[in-house]
């Protein structure tokens, strides 16, 4: 028997594909969300205070609502003890878990993606629960946006522009003043061959930003309708491995020297030559170099970099090449760290660790994981990760990586 719990949008529970009868009132859903989303089990006294503090018998009200949840979830579910322990059958689908730890392919299948957590549920409760619910709604909304962004970017990188437009449209509906999301939608329109609509839409968005926010939009948004914006290919020269390799080195050197646009143009030509050469491994590495160049040198062009990295993943996975896969996952995790989407950053960086073919790439992934941990206030974990990163990087003779790890290690000790 299969069990599915949907908390995004109007909450509901399915058993074997059939909706279970909803419990009475809003508080059973609030209780279920607390039990599923809290980082550790919660005592009965605490649950009663959060949800039933105004009742004549708070603990009795809690027992009654726990009984409602047992009927709702059905057989095979453990819901008992103090603190209250909820154990679900193996294979149970919980849409919020899929949203935070699954792939974008899994997440966008959820019918509630992009909708509020416990939509329509606002029980009369303690102020502490209301604050918790507001924070969880914001966290889930941010994670849904990250998943839709991944979906649009990956589809754009794969050449599926119509599907990219669909995902990007849902993304901008969550926050119409997210410049990067708007730029992604416009690039998807251009990729779909609808440049006229892209330019009209851009004009409308630019006017709205100026009118309603009183600010001048960024260059990333302004240039989004240009066909060159986000393009993965420049003009190929000879299509040889040697030429592509030389162009990669020249492009990376130009970016390091501060000649950003020239370097990115050179890297796009490297991608074109690598593709024409038929060397898929070189093609994947060139795409990683281009994506990394956008992210670290492009000043607000993370979206274009992510498109290149998703393209690199597709190429590298097709030939089971671990090095560019690990590098692309690490850089995508770094982008999510910059956005404050730590759940998604952790997923990408764990994958980068799993794919790392050598200690150098492992140390790089550990370093970014350590930085994520410092941002989250997980100081002990950060020190552990960054110490390992610095040690491995030093043994592998990676001075820049060692400096990164030691810098964040110092920050962790200061915190």
- Residues 68 and 9 both lie in one domain: yes
Block residue for tokens 């550990």 = 366
Residue whose token pair is 């057989």:
75
Cα 295 from Cα 304, distance rounded (Å): 8
Residue 87 domain-assigned? yes
Domain match, 294 and 335 both? no
Residues 10, 121 share a domain? yes
Instruction: Please state the domain count of the chain.
Output: 4
Question: How many angstroms from the chain centroid is the CA of residue 54?
Answer: 39
Establish if 140 belongs to a structural domain: no
**Residues 102 and 202 occupy one common structural domain:** no
* In-domain check, residue 8: yes
Q: How far apart are CA 313 and CA 331, in angstroms?
A: 11
Residues 288 and 308 in one domain: yes
- Check whether residue 25 and residue 123 sit in a common domain: yes
Task: Choose one of 99, 132, 165: the last residue of a domain.
Answer: 132
Q: Looking at residue 1, what is its pLDDT?
A: 65
Q: CATH code at 353? A: 1.25.40.10
Last residue within a domain, chosen from 299, 320, 341: 320
Q: Which of 145, 134, 168 is nearest to 340 (CA)?
A: 145
Same domain membership, residue 62 and residue 36: yes
Burial of 415 (0-12, 13-18, 19+ CB in 10 A): exposed
Please state the pTM of the whole predicted model.
0.85
Q: Is residue 276 part of a domain?
A: yes
Angle, helix 280-297 to helix 260-277, in steps of 10 degrees:
170
252 within domain boundaries: yes
User: Edge to edge, what strands does the sheet with 12-15 contain?
Assistant: 18-19, 12-15, 3-6, 93-94
Residue range(s) defining the domain that contains residue 336: 323-415
d(CA 377, CA 98): 24
Domain contains 168: no
| The pLDDT of residue 366 | 97
Domain membership of residue 167 (yes or no) is: no
What pLDDT is attached to residue 297?
A: 85
Buried b (16+ CB within 10 A) or exposed e, 27-53: bbbbbbbbbebbeeebebeebbbbbbe
Same domain, 338 and 252: no
The pLDDT score that the predictor gives to residue 59 is 94
Q: Are 229 and 188 in contact (CB under 8 A)?
A: no
> Are 266 and 217 part of one and the same domain?
no
Residues 8 and 128 occupy one common structural domain:
yes
Residues 258 and 333 reside in one and the same domain: no
Give the CATH number for residue 123.
Answer: 1.10.10.10
Going residue by residue through the chain (415 aa), what tens digit of pLDDT does each one get? 689 999 999 999 999 989 999 998 899 999 999 999 998 899 999 999 999 988 889 999 999 999 999 999 999 999 999 999 999 999 999 999 999 888 999 999 999 998 999 999 888 778 889 999 999 999 999 999 999 999 999 999 998 999 999 999 999 999 999 999 999 999 999 999 988 999 999 999 999 999 999 988 888 888 887 755 555 655 555 678 999 999 999 999 999 999 998 999 999 999 999 999 999 999 999 999 999 999 998 677 888 899 999 999 999 999 999 999 999 999 999 999 998 999 999 999 999 999 999 999 999 999 999 999 999 999 999 999 999 999 999 998 889 999 999 999 999 998 7
Same domain, 251 and 188: no
Q: Angle formed by the axes of helices 127-157 and 179-191, to 10°?
A: 30
Q: Is the peptide bond before 83 cis (omega within 30 degrees of 0)?
A: yes
The answer as to whether 149 is a domain residue is no
């Amino acid at each position: 028997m299969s069990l599915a719990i949907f908390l995004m949008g109007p909450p509901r529970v399915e058993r074997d594909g059939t909706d279970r009868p909803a419990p009475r009132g809003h508080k059973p859903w609030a209780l279920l969300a607390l039990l599923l989303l809290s980082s550790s089990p919660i005592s009965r006294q605490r649950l009663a205070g959060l949800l039933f503090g105004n009742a004549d018998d708070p603990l009795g009200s809690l027992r009654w609502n726990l009984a409602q949840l047992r009927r709702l979830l059905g057989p095979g579910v453990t819901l008992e003890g103090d603190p209250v322990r909820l154990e679900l059958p193996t294979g149970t689908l919980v849409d919020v878990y899929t949203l935070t730890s699954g792939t974008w392919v899994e997440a966008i299948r959820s019918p509630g993606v992009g909708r509020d957590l416990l939509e329509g549920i606002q029980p009369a409760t303690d102020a502490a629960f209301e604050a918790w619910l507001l924070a969880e709604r914001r966290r889930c909304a941010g994670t849904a946006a990250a998943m839709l962004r991944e979906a649009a970017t990956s589809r754009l990188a794969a050449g599926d522009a119509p599907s990219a437009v669909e995902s990007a449209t849902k993304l901008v509906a969550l926050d119409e003043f997210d410049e990067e999301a708007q730029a992604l939608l416009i690039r998807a329109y251009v990729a779909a061959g609808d440049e006229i609509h892209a330019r009209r839409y851009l004009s409308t968005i630019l006017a709205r930003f100026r009118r309603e926010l009183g600010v001048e939009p960024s260059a990333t948004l302004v240039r989004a309708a240009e066909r060159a914006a986000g393009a993965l290919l420049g003009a190929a020269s000879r299509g040889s491995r040697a030429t592509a390799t030389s162009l990669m080195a020249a492009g990376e050197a130009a970016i390091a020297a501060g000649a950003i646009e020239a370097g990115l143009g050179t890297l796009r030509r490297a991608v074109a030559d690598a593709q024409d050469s038929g060397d898929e491994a070189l093609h994947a590495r060139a795409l990683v170099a281009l994506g990394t160049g956008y992210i670290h040198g492009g000043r607000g062009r993370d979206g274009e970099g992510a498109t290149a990295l998703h393209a690199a993943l597709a190429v590298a996975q097709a030939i089971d090449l671990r090095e560019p896969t690990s590098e692309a996952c690490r850089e995508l995790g770094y982008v999510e760290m910059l956005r404050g989407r730590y759940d998604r950053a952790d997923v990408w960086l764990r994958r980068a660790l799993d794919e790392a073919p050598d200690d150098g790439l492992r140390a790089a992934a550990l370093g970014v994981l350590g930085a994520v941990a410092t941002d989250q206030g997980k100081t002990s974990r950060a020190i552990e990760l960054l110490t390992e990163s610095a040690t491995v990087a030093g043994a592998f003779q990676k001075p820049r990586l060692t400096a990164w790890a030691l810098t964040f290690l110092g920050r962790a000790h200061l915190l």
